[in-house]
A and B are shown apart, each in its own frame.
Chain A
Amino acid sequence: MSILANKDTYVVIQGGVAGVNAARRMAEFCYLIKRSLNVLAFVYPPDAGKTHEIPYGSGLVAVPIYKTVAEATKNHSQINTSLVYIGADRALKGGMEALDDSHIKVVSMITEGVPEKDAKILAHHATKLGKVFNGPSSIGIVSAGSCRLGVIGGAFDNLVLSKLYREGSFGVITKSGGLSNEIIWICSQFADGITTAIGIGGDTYPGTDYVSYLEMFENDPQTKAVVIVGEMGGDLEERAAEWYGAKKRRVKLMAVVSGFCQESLPKGMKFGHAGAKEGLKGEGSARAKSDALKKSGAIVPATFGALGPAIKEAYQEMLKSGQVKEPVEPLVLPKLPKTIEEAIKADEVMVAPLIRTTISDDRGDEPCYDGYPASELINKGYEIPHVVGLLWDKRLISKQEAEIIKRIMMLSADHGPCVSGALGTIIAACAGIGLSQSVAAGLIMIGPRFGGAVTDAGRFFKYAVDNKMSVDDFLAYMKKNHGPVPGIGHRVKSLRNPDKRVKELVGHVKSLNIKTPCLDFALEVEKITSVKKDNLILNVDGTMAAVLVDIGFPVDSLNGFFILSRTIGLIGHWVDQKRQDSRLIRLFDYLVNYAAPKRREVPPLK
């Protein structure tokens, strides 16, 4: 048996994130004792109509969220308990709502910092209705083997260590959340564990006091002794003493009280709990409480540390008198399934990776590119082209190579609004499309006819050089197998109107005193083709391609240089249109050659 919370306790949780966390902890306990999740509903108006997915074992339980307590109890008539996790400024309203619901018999408030006046109103209202209002600032209530309300009991491992999966013989009532857990643990190590443990909260006027619960424990035959952990301030311990001393009680009362240090500390000092304060005239001191409890016949160890041995002694007596029997521990207890991360950490599972990467790793405190930390690259003077080298070709390129890449990027960043890519982006921008989609619209244009010839140009020049072909053989080979040579030819530029960018790039590379077999070969090709037709010159794509192959970049990466550089321009065009707040554009009719058939009659459908 137990008090307050048992196998028939079903819960609605009022509140948001903190309530969901509590539900997870409660689900762990339910899983440990093999009962279904006892949280049936949440009340949280902003999310009403949705569900929270609460992990239970290796699965998930969907718990619905309602707008009001009334809706929750209407849909789940077994609900008889509410846990309140609402903020202090709305706690009164939430608590009243729960108390006023006819299904609900117990309301436990976890909220801290509730105004004293509000707490008193709630307690008073509960008394009038004959219900239990526990808290505020309560850590929760746990009945071993049957029900957990709130996070009391802590993590799953602790539930097992503290033997909360089965009943013991000790009741626990504390003001402090942390100490409730400590006492539960002590009872499980020095005796057979607990029946029910209750955190009443450390406020000045908790809704339910020691006496209310002592009465309940007195009537619970399973509970043989009750441990209370008190502290200075208020008169709850004195009232407990009064209750205990009033007549012969079935349960043994054991108690410790904190706050003796107040005797040597400044008067009026504030401790962690709102209620932990002697009165203005020194009433409610630890000594007065401790004396009152001793006088009532309770066992009051001198220190908190002496509580364990005292509990042990009491338990041994119970065993001797046959009042209790040594508990039988279950042979097997459910183990909480580990998350995949925990299992991997514990070397318990092997996972076949879904993808493999060889270029970067962002799991540490900063990204590493091919193993080099980004900040270190920055601090040692490396620049964007080096990052390109690392991520595209897994090598740290030289200063000279970086300079070439930088120049290529600068030369190809943008070619005005009329080219396919920019026009695509501009049309999208004018249609009100966002940045990434508009830039993508431009990038889609990059292909065999626009900007996408770099890779192919590089591939064929490399093929020729690798196979030591003559220019004539190469041209014949191309004509026979592939058609026009990629990288040769320009729509506007010609021998008489040379492409300045090409001249610039070739000039720079040639000045470096490095071997450039592909570039040399491409220039030889140009000499022949441009004689045939004067616009069949080596264009910027072909030049880039030859140079990049010469400095060792893999053929498949070459189009990337154009895509990367041109993205700078495409972003520029989108921002430019956005800045001007450009209107939607469409083609003028006069720019279209309407070659479709003239208007005609539609024949009947056959």
Chain B
Amino acid sequence: MAKVLEGPGMGLMKKWGITVPHYVVVTSVDELAKLGQANEWLKKSKLVVKAHEALGSRFKLGLVKVDLDLKGAEAAAKEMIGRQVGSITVSQVIVSEMIPHKEEYYCAVKSTREGTDILVANCGGIEVESNWDRVKRLAVEVGQQPSGDAIEKLAKDAGFTGPLLKKMADFAGKMFTCFDSEDAQYLEVNPVVLREQDSQLIALDAVTLLDGDAKFRHPDWNFAFAAEFGRAYSKHEMEVMAVDSKIKGSVKFIEIPGGDTAMLPAGGGASVYYSDAVVARGGKLANYAEYSGDPPDWAVEVLTDKVCSLPGIKNIIVGGAIANFTDVKKTFGGIINGFRKAKSEGKLKNVKIWVRRGGPREKEGLDAMRALKDEGFDINVFDRNTPLTDIVDKALQKQ
């Protein structure tokens, strides 16, 4: 899943006929001022300014300002852009028109195993959370389109009546089309509001999760995906992602500040068991990582370099199950090169390395790791006869 920020998310909705408020995404106050001269609505409407970053609880952080005129919006933008929040620097703000409204509703579309669910409620905003029973669901089978009647029935079940019923059904239909056409995995508009001046339904806020794997058939996805865990990706994380996108197989890396146990395991499945073992032993993870699918040795070397660069680490867990086709000698070659480089740069002082692995050319790979002892590494190497996560037990017991 790949999260998309509000601006591009609303862009996609607009593309499929959903009415969204006027909005602009700007990186500087000057840009906003210039746009203000060119766009009537920026001068006439009341405005909302929000930090356009993958940040949770923006309200609490003071990164949402409402009911502003253009001058006020410029002041808010000035205040927000460049502000440091944790590891994120706010580099963009989204400025949109405020839509005067009385009623708020809810509409979402999500992927399920059987197909797609369309969700509608005749309440919105925070009210939905506490009234989840008012959310009505229409299940659409894989490969099918919802019929007009079915959607109208959904709106009716949710309590919409009169002219609003048709409008809500139309809105939900467009949400489905957008979802289906854009390879989305989750779309949520909360609230959907009824604009007072023309009684149109408007999508006031959008949560958009797209399927990153489908990017190849969406040449117009010209936006970057946002990190989904409430902060932006770090420099090292982005470097590993750049490598990942280039290679056969994969390398993954996420930093977890404050940890002291670094992870360099193989396999999407085993890596999580290794992380679990660290947590279960009371250790503190310094990162999540994995390499798999027989990646080239240079890619594993880049990953190793990032792992060795984590601050304050005491142990590195080079774990892995018995590989099917990942060449242990080759991938370990990348790790060994990374270790040597790190050592020559003065890293890995007082860091213990723990290795467990099996698979094609396991003997050669493990022997090469063992030989690092002679180069002054504090390294402990185990083969398939030691159970998967025992190295974590050994590493954390010794501390």
Q: Which residues of A contact B (CB under 8 A)?
A: 21, 25, 88-89, 112-118, 120-121, 123-125, 139-140, 151-155, 158, 161, 174-182, 185, 202, 204-205, 229, 231-232, 234-235, 256, 258-261, 263-274, 276-277, 280, 286, 302-305, 308
Contact = CB atoms under 8 A, between A and B. Distances in A.
A276 B141 CA distance: 24
Contacts of A181: 321-324, 358-359
B213 A88 contact: yes
A260 B325 contact: no
Given A88-B213, A308-B387, A178 B321 contact: yes
Contacts of B230: 266-268
Interface stretch (B117-125, B195-203, B250-258, B370-378): B250-258
24 contacts: A113-B213, A117-B111, A140-B324, A152-B324, A155-B360, A174-B269, A177-B324, A180-B324, A181-B322, A181-B323, A181-B324, A182-B321, A235-B113, A258-B269, A261-B285, A265-B275, A268-B230, A271-B268, A271-B288, A272-B252, A272-B292, A304-B273, A304-B276, A305-B393
Contacts of A25: 325
Contacts of A231: 269, 272
A116 B179 CA distance: 12
Contacts of B115: 120, 124
A138 B166 CA distance: 45
A234 B321 CA distance: 23
Contacts of B250: 112, 272
Q: Looking at chain B, what size class is its interface with the partner chain? A: 35 or more
A178 B267 contact: yes
A259 B272 contact: yes
Interface string B279-300: 1100001001010110000000
B141 A154 contact: no
Interface in B340-399: 358-361, 384, 387-390, 393
Contacts of A153: 324
B92 to A, nearest CB: 20
Report, nearest first, the 9 A-B pairs whose CB atoms are least far apart.
A176-B269, A272-B268, A178-B267, A182-B321, A115-B214, A268-B228, A124-B142, A266-B229, A178-B321
What secondary structure prevails in chain A residues at the interface with B?
A: loop
Contacts of B141: 124
A269 B322 CA distance: 26
B217 A89 contact: yes
Given A158-B358, A179-B270, A263-B279, A21 B143 contact: no
B185 to A, nearest CB: 6
A115 B183 contact: yes
Contact of A175 (B229, B252, B269, B277): B269
B360 A178 contact: no
A150 to B, nearest CB: 8
Contacts of A176: 267-270, 321
Given A260-B276, A261-B272, A276-B268, A158 B322 contact: yes
Interface string B289-327: 010110000000000000000000000000011111110
A38 to B, nearest CB: 18
A304 B277 contact: yes
A276 B185 CA distance: 15
A274 B266 CA distance: 16
Given A260-B280, A266-B231, A272-B290, A178 B285 contact: no
Interface of B: 1, 111, 113, 115, 141-143, 180, 183, 185-186, 211, 213-214, 216-217, 228-231, 250, 252, 254, 256, 266-273, 275-280, 285, 288, 290, 292-293, 320-326, 358-361, 384, 387-390, 393
A178 B250 CA distance: 14
Given A177-B267, A305-B387, A259 B276 contact: yes
A269 B268 contact: no
A182 B270 CA distance: 9
Given A176-B270, A181-B358, A265-B275, 10 more contacts: A116-B111, A124-B142, A182-B388, A185-B384, A204-B185, A231-B269, A269-B228, A272-B268, A304-B277, A305-B388
A263 B231 CA distance: 18
A256 B269 CA distance: 12
Contacts of A180: 324
B321 A117 contact: no
A519 to B, nearest CB: 57
A112 to B, nearest CB: 7
Contact of A117 (B211, B269, B271): B211
Contacts of B393: 305
Nearest to B110: A280
Contact of B216 (A89, A266, A304): A89
Contact of A265 (B211, B256, B322, B384): B256
A270 B268 contact: no
Contacts of A276: 268, 272
A286 B213 contact: no
A445 B393 CA distance: 78
A152 B254 CA distance: 28
Q: Taking each of B271, B273, B276, B288, which has the highest tally of chain A beta carbons within 10 Å of its own beta carbon?
A: B273
Contacts of A21: 325
Contacts of A115: 183, 211, 213-214, 217
Given A154-B360, A185-B322, A266-B256, A202 B269 contact: yes
B288 A269 contact: yes
Given A270-B254, A305-B387, A158 B359 contact: yes
Q: Taking each of B141, B267, B393, which has the highest tally of chain A beta carbons within 10 Å of its own beta carbon?
A: B267
A270 B216 contact: no
A121 B144 CA distance: 10
Nearest to B279: A261
Given A202-B269, A305-B390, A154 B279 contact: no
A202 B213 CA distance: 14
Nearest to A230: B269
Q: Taking each of A112, A114, A308, which has the highest tally of chain B beta carbons within 10 Å of its own beta carbon?
A: A112
Contacts of B252: 270-272
Nearest to A264: B279
Contacts of B270: 176, 178-179, 182
B269 A272 contact: yes
Nearest to B215: A115
A151 B325 contact: yes
Q: Taking each of B141, B279, B320, which has the highest tally of chain A beta carbons within 10 Å of its own beta carbon?
A: B279
Nearest to A175: B269
